[in-house]
Amino acid sequence: MSIKVDRKKLRTNMKMVATVIAAITGLAGMQASAAQAYDCKLDSNQDYGWIPPRVVFVVDEPNVQVMDGIIAMVQEGPMAGKLERRDATSIQIEWSVKNIPVSNLRMKEHAVYTAVLNEKTGKVRLRAVLATQYSSYPKGWGKCAIGKE
C-alpha cells in the first residue's frame, strides 16, 4: 500500500518546527541542566513523507523531547519520547505519533518511530512502523548538528 503524508502541509509546518526549536533550545539554555540538542537532517529510502527531512532531539537523560514536521501537523509543540541507552556512545529514542493526516486516503495514520543516535559522531538512523503498512518500513539516515544547551 502506498501512503503519502501531505507534503504541502509538512513543508508549511517546518516553519513551526524552526520556531519550536528556537523555543526549546532557549528554554534549555535558561535552565541549569545538561540538555544536549541534536538537530538532524535526514534522507529517506522512500519519498512518501513518513521520514521527515529534519528532526530535533533535546536529550536530558533520562528524558528526551522530539520535534519534527510530522509532529507539528498533529500538535503544537514537541513530543516526549522514550530514551534507552544502548552503550557509552549511542541512544535509542522511540516516539509514537497518532492522527497523521494521509493525503491519498480519507484516513489518519499512526506511526511508531525509532531512532538510533550516535552521540559521538552525530549519525542517526530512523525507522517508521505504520499501523496499516506491513511490507517495507520507511527508513532514514543522516547527520545531526550537536549543540550543548
Q: Is residue 110 part of a domain?
A: yes
Handedness of CA 40, 116, 133, 65 (dihedral sign): negative
- Give the domain extent around 75: 7-148
Collect all residues with Cβ–Cβ distance below 8 Å to 67 and sequence separation of at least 6: 17, 20, 21, 24, 55, 56, 77, 78, 79
pLDDT at 2: 37
Q: Which three cell numbers stand for residue 85?
A: 541507552
What CATH number does the domain containing 106 carry? 2.40.160
Q: Is 1 inside any structural domain?
A: no
What's residue 6's pLDDT? 55
In a domain, 2, yes or no: no
The low-confidence residues of the chain, meaning pLDDT below 50, are: 1-3, 27-30, 32
How many domains does the chain divide into?
A: 1
Q: Rounded to an integer, what distance in angstroms lies between the CA atom of residue 93 and that of residue 59?
A: 10
pTM across the whole model: 0.80
